[in-house]
Structure 1
Amino acid sequence: MSAYLVLASIGALLVLLVHGRISPAVLFSGWAVGYVIVGVVDEQAMLSSFSNPALITLLVLMLVSLALERSPLLERLSDALLRGREWRASLRLMGLTAGLSAFLNNTAVVGSLLGVISRQRHIPASRLLIPLSFASILGGITTLVGTSTNLVVNSFVVNAGLPALGMFQFTLVGLPVALLCLLGLLFSRRFLPAHQMQGEESTQPYFLEARLEDGSPLIGHSIEDNGLRRLNGLFLLEIARNDRLISPVSPDEVLEADDVLVFTGEVEKVQALQQFAGLQLFGNGVDRLLASNLVEVVVSNESELANRTLQEVDFRTMFNAGVVGIRRGGRRLYGTLGKIPLRVGDSLLLAVGPDFKQHRNLDRNFHLLSNSLQRPKLSVRQSLFAFGGFGVVIGLAALGLVPLLNGLLLLLAALLLTRILTVSELRRRFPFELMMVIGSALTVARALESSGAAQLVADAMRGFFNGYGVVGAFVGVYLITLLLTETVTNNAAAALAFPIGLSTAQGFGADPMPFIMAVAFGASACFMVPFGYQTHLMVYSPGRYRVMDYIKTGLPISLLYSAGVLVLVPLFFPF
């Protein structure tokens, strides 16, 4: 397979990643298997990609993080910080988040704080959640273990036969850049919306779906006659009838059996529908629904619900819960709820059965926002043991006394022996999709290198930046990576940009380290769209944001971040 065909196939992969209909795990796995079949890489090379020590380190770190994210210490500390003037509370929260994210998985940090911030009454959550997500990224860039992106880049470094990256090799650049951007966030956060807090009248409500049963007294009468126009806190937005959408709804519209009525309204106003006989909310009678617990959740980045509809997954059987509302940022969702493909970051309002919290798949699929239903937390003693053990592992690895992987494996064994973690929990939460993405991406990177496709791109860059030399090529690699991470995902951006950066460095006869750092920092430079980074998606709907909120807040941060990286990397990692 020629270099040009490999390059064309990578272009097709990039288009599909941007499209977003097929998961990155499926795409990278398919491309990796395809390259093995056509002989671009051999089977042994593909198998060795999945046994890469840096990849194993990342997987074990994710498993250890399962214990740390269950600690109540983060919630208690954050609630105490969110008091006083808004800018001071924001600064304290961002400082805590960045500090924790330097050593803990940033997705776990945001997931632990998301519910606390959404429920607190001191400051509107919309003023805090984007800064929370940004701060978690900025903290993550300061150490090797702070973000999966750095560990992914390290796996490519090891796979290329280069020395593994050190624990604090990122700190010389990452720490000043993080501090600069955190100060910038104090100013750019003024562009964030100040949505009213929960419990007050909401300007961005849920969308509730109700179906008319056969025999309902509402059938055969108009909207006006049935009194559906004058509901407390709810507004009839549209009617779905035999795959036809009626919107806007006329007061004279006569209802028919099996009509699906879509209301927009506040969470607590769903009781207004109780007065109507023969009305079901997504398969539940209204009386039964209102007798159950209403729980608000956010679809997690590990969820198997992503890109699938409620009907496809048989949501009710899976969780013993019915979905009565979906919210996606500040954007209106069209169509009936059961036919809407869910996305990571969607907020769902659930009517749950009595055994809902016993379902073992909750942690993998949801971040819980409602205070009425919280998963079991670690005790203070367990929390101190978990955090203390993690700190010892990081310290020993930083001093070069114990390899990071060995320390994490010992800590994982200790957590299992003390039953802070269980084998069933590890099985349930194992980051299988992340493993498939990175292992397959390592194979794709090998294909780019062995076929000469990466060298073609490097030659083109050398020609394009001929008048600017190695510095121009370094800037070009960073900008390519930044563009990729804003359009696909951070890990996919690192996978596609790394072989280009390495080949470019070799083409100029330069030290590869500044180009490796350009890829690592560029792959974490996602600040302007919510779709390229998992923590952005986690806060998207709870904050009721629009894409423009990310652009207005993130553009100044992206410029500061890029300026800091492009100036500092060549200073600390000369060509």
Structure 2
Amino acid sequence: MVKEWIEIELSMFSAVLLLVLGRVITVEEAFSGFSNEGMLTIGLMFILAGSLYYSGLISHLSVFIFGRNGSSSIYKMMRILFPVAGISAFMNNTPIVAVLIPALRNWAEQNRLSLSKFLIPVSYAAILGGMCTLIGTSTNLIIYGLMIDSGIEGLGMFEMTKIAVPVMLIGLLYILIMRNSLLPERMEYIQDFKEHSREFVVVLKISDDYKGIGKSIQEAGLRHLQGLFLFQIERKGKIIAPAAPNEIMELGDRLFFTGIPKTILELQKTAGLVVMEDEQFDLKQYDSSQIRPFEVVISPSSPLIGKNIRRSNFREKYDAVIIAIHRNGERIKKKIGDIELKAGDTLLILTKLGFHRRWYNSIDFYLISESDEVPSKAQWRTFAAPGILIMVILLSALKIMPILMAEGLGVMILLLTKTISMEEVRKSIDFRVLIIIASAFGLAHGLTNSGVAEYAANIIIEYGSYFGTIGIMISLFITASVYTNFMTNNAAAAILFPIVLSMSQQLQINTRALIIALVLAVSASFSTPIGYQTNLMIYGPGGYRFTDFLKFGIPLQLIFIIISIALLYLFYL
């Protein structure tokens, strides 16, 4: 499990089956996790978090988070870390980090910054934020489910907040102060990304509702875009190239950008920047579950060759809208409608589902492939998704209904309003994580029934009791830190929960204090990339080595333990 020679979910499920075969646990105990309230709560939370992603809300927030170029390094980090931590308190942090990795990579490239200085801080901020509420991380919900399973009242939505928020703030302060001196500066991974990017040309016309009219390119924020470059402007038939940062933009200007498909699709959604007027396709608010981006390569025998895009009737014939064009790295300097198509041209198009099936065998195109998807919904659905999540949080926090029921109601509303589709639901659920969580309940029963939990508790008590209750807490945090950094936090929670219950019973210590200590301790996966999914996600893109996590994470781990124990002693002991 530690080495991950086999998949973690397979190893845990196999361990549960072995416990059944060895008659350590019953079949009912082995599979109790698959119907446990905590596991089902996590599954529904994946869908609620997915709705935020597929509505396009996170993409909008990422633009706000990064801010403008030219600000200080500390200010840039604050603009990133505090929103990430805040959002992670109320949704699964995995999709947050997943969305920010490519956005951060492009932003770091445009600003000539080292990506390795940002990704570990983002992952750690997501971990720290996730501790602050019951729904912030799947680990909290696992422990919630184990409490219910053990006949203990589950944790409240904000029960751990008074401990977790001060810990989070101190942790973020450590990251801000120490990242420059302890994190590596590696630039080659950003350069590799640029070298392997295929760039398209897109032309956007400024309409009267664009907020940048009368502003310079720099002031309008079009100078340092993520993965895009404004290389010329056409104004009343006159070409302005290169487009200088102080050039004032006017109504009717055509802006020529070169960039990668995903960033082009995001840019064309900007209010007042128009690719083309289309009565059937609303390019600003199209539903990405029904309309998808494709890249099509024009074949040598295509009837489109020699025709310009405006006269080719492309929209009517193929039921698709051309967004941008790629031609062997050439920066095409004509309006999209005036471009004469050639064999080998690659078109970035938006079209309805089924395009690949309809035109796969056609001589018109040499190759058809689905491009990077950009989440998009009607504007009201973009705001409906967070509104429904807030409703779920309030229903649970005010104890109007249990969290599982509140989440179920939220998911039902999302589906009925088509804020999320069934396909997006399936993509949102991480079944691998759910299998790990469900199997963890079986392992917890095995530890209890076999006496291992009681034995481990006795060891912790024996060595920790020399220093009283504080010593017990220190022993628990150190044990949990080792477990969570060298397996997964979910597995660590399941393994240590029965041990914590046994310690509470033997020492007559406040059970909830020990459980909250466990909630915090098993989430603190700072010292290795193994223990937490977001650490594994940023390991490759950041060009990190295992020792980078040890160097930056161990001091944070120690600070975390000291502050957490002090606050627990103040509030509970």
Give TM-score, length-normalised by structure 2.
0.66
- 1:87 partnered with 2:87: no
Residue-by-residue CA offset, 1:177-235 (whole Å, 9 max, x unaligned): 00011111111111223333877x569999xxxxxxxxxxxxxxxxxxxxxxxxxxxxx
Structure 2 counterpart SS, 1:564: helix
- String of CA shifts for 1:75-126, please: whole Å, max 9, x gaps: 3333343232221010111010001001011111111222211111234322
Which of 96, 99, 107 is matched with 2:94 structurally?
Answer: 107
The alpha carbon displacement at 1:516 in A equals 1.2
The aligned counterpart of 1:302 is none
Contact 1:142 1:174 in 2 (8 A): yes
**SS of corresponding position for 1:156:** helix
Q: Give the secondary structure class of the aligned counterpart of 1:137.
A: helix
CA distance in 1, matches of 2:30, 2:83: 40
Unpaired stretches in structure 1, ≥5 consecutive residues: 1-16, 207-292, 297-319, 321-351, 360-371
**CA separation of 1:183/1:40 partners in 2, compared to 1, >3 Å: closer, same or farther?**
same
**SS of alignment partner, residue 157 of structure 1:** helix
CA distance in 2, matches of 1:499, 1:79: 44
Specify the alignment match of 1:46 in structure 2: 30
CA distance in 2, matches of 1:374, 1:80: 21
Task: Give the aligned residue type for 1:528.
Answer: S
The one of 154, 157, 161 equivalent to 2:151 is 161
How far apart in 1 are the matches of 2:96 and 2:485?
A: 22
Q: Indicate which of 3, 14, 26 corresponds to 2:10.
A: 26
**Counterparts of 1:356 and 1:498, CA distance in 2:** 50
Give per-residue Cα distances to partners, 1:436-478, cap 9 Å, x unaligned: 2122211111121122221111122222234223332222111
Name the aligned partner's letter for residue 152 of structure 1.
Answer: I
Which digits, 9 at most, give the CA deviation of each residue in 1:274-307, with x for residues without a partner? xxxxxxxxxxxxxxxxxxx9999xxxxxxxxxxx
Residue 126 of structure 2 is aligned to residue 132 of structure 1: no
Q: Tell me which residue corresponds to 2:569.
A: 570
Q: CA deviation at 1:383?
A: 1.5
> What secondary structure is seen at the aligned counterpart in 1 of 2:2?
helix
| 2:492 corresponding residue in structure 1 | 493
Partner of 2:416: 417
The 1:203–1:392 alpha-carbon spacing in structure 2 relative to 1, beyond 3 Å, is closer
| 1:194 to 1:421, Cα distance in 2 relative to 1, 3 A | same
Q: Deviations over 1:48-83 (max 9, x none)?
A: 332111221111111221111224333333334323
Whole-Å separation in 1 of the counterparts to 2:159 and 2:557: 22
Secondary structure of the residue that 1:530 maps to in structure 2? coil
Distance 1:144 1:125 in 2: 31
CA distance in 2, matches of 1:115, 1:374: 13
In 2, the alpha carbon distance for the partners of 1:376 and 1:80 equals 17
Please show how residues 466-545 of structure 1 align to structure 2 within 5 Å: 466-545=465-544
Report if aligned partners of 2:32, 2:441 keep a CA contact under 8 Å in 1.
no
Distance 1:464 1:556, change over 3 A: closer
Give how far 1:356 is off: 13
Q: Is the 8 A contact 2:90 2:135 kept in 1?
A: yes
How far apart are 1:560 and its partner, in Å?
Answer: 1.7
Alpha-carbon offset, residue 149 of structure 1: 1.3
Instruction: Go from structure 1 to structure 2 and tell me whether the alpha carbon gap of 1:545 and 1:187 turns closer, same or farther (over 3 Å shift).
Output: same
Q: In structure 2, give the amino acid aligned to 1:119.
A: N
1:145 is matched with 135
Task: Please say if residues 16 and 439 of structure 2, whose CA atoms lie closer than 8 Å, have aligned partners that are also in contact.
Answer: yes
Structure 1 segment 457-468 matched on structure 2, within 5 A = 457-468=456-467
Q: How far 1:504 moved relative to its partner?
A: 1.4
Residue 397 in structure 1 maps to residue 396 in structure 2: yes
Indicate how the Cα distance of structure 1 residues 379 and 442 shifts in structure 2: closer, same or farther if over 3 A, else same.
Answer: same
**Which amino acid letter does the alignment assign opposite residue 105 of structure 2?**
S
Counterpart residue number, 1:347: none
One-letter amino acid of the counterpart of residue 3, structure 2? H
Q: Does 1:375 align with 2:379?
A: no
How has the CA–CA distance of structure 1 residues 125 and 161 changed in structure 2, closer, same or farther, with 3 Å as cutoff? same
Partner of 2:340: none
Residues 18 and 47 (structure 1), Cα distance of their counterparts in 2 relative to 1, 3 Å cut? closer
Amino acid at match of 1:454: A
Q: Is the 8 A contact 2:470 2:565 kept in 1?
A: no
Contact 1:465 1:473 in 2 (8 A): yes
Structure 2 regions of 5+ residues with no counterpart? 197-259, 264-294, 296-345, 355-370
Q: Among 63, 69, 73, which residue is 2:47 paired with?
A: 63
Cα distance in 1 for residues equivalent to 2:429 and 2:64: 33
Structure-2 change in CA distance of 1:67 and 1:174 (3 Å): same
Alignment partner, residue 164 of structure 2:
174
Letter in 2 for 1:525: A
Residue pair 1:98, 1:135 contacting (<8 A) in 2 also: yes
Q: Secondary structure at the match of 1:18?
A: coil
8 A Cα contact 1:445 1:499, kept in partner: yes
Instruction: Assess if the C-alpha contact under 8 Å between 1:68 and 1:383 holds in 2.
Output: yes
Could you tell me whether the CA contact under 8 Å between 1:168 and 1:398 is conserved in 2?
yes
1:98 aligns with 2:85: yes
Distance 1:426 1:70 in 2: 10
SS at match of 1:407: helix
**Equivalent residues of 2:453, 2:502 under 8 A apart:** yes
Task: Map 1:357-368 to 2 at 5 A.
Answer: none
- Give the secondary-structure state (helix, strand or coil) at the position aligned to 2:31: helix
Counterparts in 2 of 1:389 and 1:195: CA distance versus 1, 3 Å: same
CA root-mean-square deviation: 3.0
Aligned to 2:252: none
C-alpha spacing 1:134/1:405, structure 2 compared with 1 (3 Å): same
Q: Is the 8 A contact 1:119 1:198 kept in 2?
A: no
AA at the equivalent of 2:32: S
For the 8 Å contact 1:55–1:155, the answer to whether it is kept is yes
Residues 460 and 115 of structure 1, relative CA distance in 2, 3 Å threshold: same
Q: What is the alpha-carbon distance in structure 2 between the residues aligned to residue 353 and residue 155 of structure 1?
A: 50
How many matched pairs?
A: 408
Give the letter aligned to residue 140 of structure 1: G
State the alpha-carbon separation in 2 of the partners of residues 95 and 560 from structure 1: 19
CA shift, 1:425, in A, is 3.1
Q: Could you tell me how far apart the structure 2 residues matched to 1:559 and 1:507 are? A: 27
Cα distance in 2 for residues equivalent to 1:75 and 1:155: 32
* Deviation sequence 1:233-253 (CA, Å, 0-9, x none): xxxxxxxxxxxxxxxxxxxxx
Are the counterparts in 2 of residues 195 and 203 from structure 1 also a CA contact under 8 Å?
no
Shift of the 556–459 alpha-carbon distance from structure 1 to 2, 3 Å rule, reads closer
Partner of 1:364 in structure 2? none
Aligned to 2:368: none
Question: 2:553 maps to what in 1?
Answer: 554
Query: Which region of structure 1 is more displaced relative to structure 2, 424-433 or 543-552?
Result: 424-433
Where do residues 14-413 of structure 1 align in structure 2 (5 Å cutoff)?
17-82=1-66, 83=68, 84-120=71-107, 121-122=110-111, 123-190=113-180, 191-196=182-187, 201=191, 373-413=372-412
- The answer to whether the Cα contact below 8 Å between 1:188 and 1:556 also exists between their aligned partners in 2 is no
Between the aligned partners of 2:187 and 2:457, the Cα distance in structure 1 is 51
- Matches of 1:130 and 1:466 in 2, distance apart? 36
Change (3 A) 1:127 1:445: same
